[in-house]
Structure 1
Amino acid sequence: MENEFLNAELRKSHLSFKGLFFTLMALFIVGAIATTLYILSQRSLRIAFMSDRDGDNEIYVMEMDGSGVVNITNNEAQDGLPGWSERKRSIAFLSTRESTSAAIYRMNLYGKRLKALVTNMPIIATFPAWSPDGKWIAFDSGLAGQSDIYLINVKTGEVRNLTDHPSADRFYGWSPDSNQVLFVSNRGDQTVNNPAIYSITLESSEMVRLTEPDSVNVLASWSPDGKKIAFTSDRDGNAEIYIMDRDGKNVTRLTDNPKFEGFPIWSPDGKRIAYISIDEVTEEGNPEIYVMNSDGSDQRNLSNHPMQDGLEWEFSWSPDGSKILFTTDRDGNLEIYVMDADGGNPTNLTNHPANDSAPAWIK
């Protein structure tokens, strides 16, 4: 009887030990997976940029901390202005490798699977802009005073003139659902100095003018939820940042001071807007990167440096909204910096005597 009791207790202890063992193993595995996923998510965030460090403009990729720099174009042509599509895991960029005029190409993160998309049009030097769903690439094409917005069908390679008008049309951004494009134009009753902001629907080509012709309205960007549009206007005497509904209604002024303030960029969660503030729009001006809440409150200078930050209006939020990437000449040449979203820990990522610019997040 005593042996049976002892054996029963041993079996219970064994089962309890097995249960505890498997519980601990499960917790360990879950923890290891979570840690691995976190590490992979951090490692997966890279930065593409343009540099002339090898004698001509090339596209490079580096880790988020500036390490592991790799030239992924590496040829004698001029390559630059990379744009990344997370959906397609591809970079679209401008290149002169087949002619003296810029053409649009596509490649993967390692510079492989190179494909020419557009080679026979006068491309205006703007970033090839992927649609969020990865199905289209938008770009401007034309000569000074007259340009149109074109779309490349990524699957078929077909190129479509979206705006097709004898005016100056410039691309500004995709709607989050990839169904509409924002652009600025001096068409209709606009003078050359008073461009207006328009939206156009891809499927129907329906076009809507969102701002009036009595002032300059430019530099528009869609909120992440597609409900609002931030833009720059001089309707009250100088360039300030405004916000409106996607149909142009309920216009609200967000900034109000004598400086030029423009180039609004929404944070990924839509709660904040980063923008450029500058005393004068000249080579001697000192652009600074500011941030504010999406209602205009809590406006703060993030870069706060006597040199020029956000040069060429190159600054962007990281995909998680925790960092801001920007181009600056604070070291005497063009360098790419990153800082926390509150302006802390500004770090030179490129740190090279050449000129480095046009940074793009890669996730």
Structure 2
Amino acid sequence: MDSVFEGTFPTGAGPEEILPQDALSILPFAPEAITAWATQNDLHTYINKLLAGTGYEDQADIRLEGAIQVVLELADQFTEIATQSEPAPRARTQSVSLVDFKHDPVFGRLAKALIAWQETIANVLSEAGYFSLSHMLETRSDLMCSVQLASGLYYRQAMQVLRGFIESVILPIYFCKQPDEYKEWKSNDYRSPTLRGDKGVLPRLRKAGIISVEMENTISEAYDLLNGYIHGNEEKLNNTGLDRGEWEGHVFQPVRFQAWANVCASLIEASLPLVKINLSQWAAAKSDWDLFCHVCHGHDLETQQQRDDPPMTQFRCKQCSHTFWQDDDDQQFVHATVEFSD
């Protein structure tokens, strides 16, 4: 028998509640095979610290268990496609060197980073802590696209997509201080500035004291590396070696897999503190705003309905059609229906 619970929940947690510094202090994650993960490993600690004080503390183990099942299935996907490799007819060897992904520490670290990002973004979304919902959702799309490409043995393309992930993380930090440019971006009448160079986004954020020199260098070096997979040499191609008679075909390549997995995990670990920066920016920026839509930042709202106990009003944004509840203390809420299977 199923039971239904309806409730209206506040979305006004602060940056430290959404992404505690205690959780960020766990980073970076240790390379550790999924099958070797202990009950109290660094990922377990991260998730528990992430959910501390949110009211969802008792769900940490359940959520982690579900996430582990997902990455185990992902390991099976990598294995299945790798075993179906198609060596070139004249490849130096027709045997393909495979990796036991469930027992591979490189894949294990990547799995930890992917889980941490997914759970962190879920926290941000549930508390409406995002400045730009589009960019926040795009980071998840970027990562999963990269993962799917890598599992399909398209290593160059998997690297290329990660450049988009960097932009999806960095641009909201920039736009939060440049609201007019953000409006132009949303109207599709905008060309994003370069990330690097004298007038690039990264040095401008560093000079403004928003990011540290270390953060700037880390992201800049990663961006430069990923640019190489877009504008790089012949060796970056999936089909490298044709001119030397060394083309292997569409096969699993352990060195390329490890390079991609390490870059992806490192980028996630470097980007989590950047999410915290944007959370703090947005919390400060919106504190002086009048009633507005958290999705599109629009102020053209219409009243939908009202409640007396507790006294709340539901508004609808005329620009993006998002609806939300707000109480007399200007606290926004999300109304949710949850079904339980008895």
TM over 0.5: no
TM-score norm. by structure 2 comes to: 0.23
TM-score with structure 1 length normalisation? 0.22
Relative to total residues, which structure has the larger strand share, 1 or 2?
1
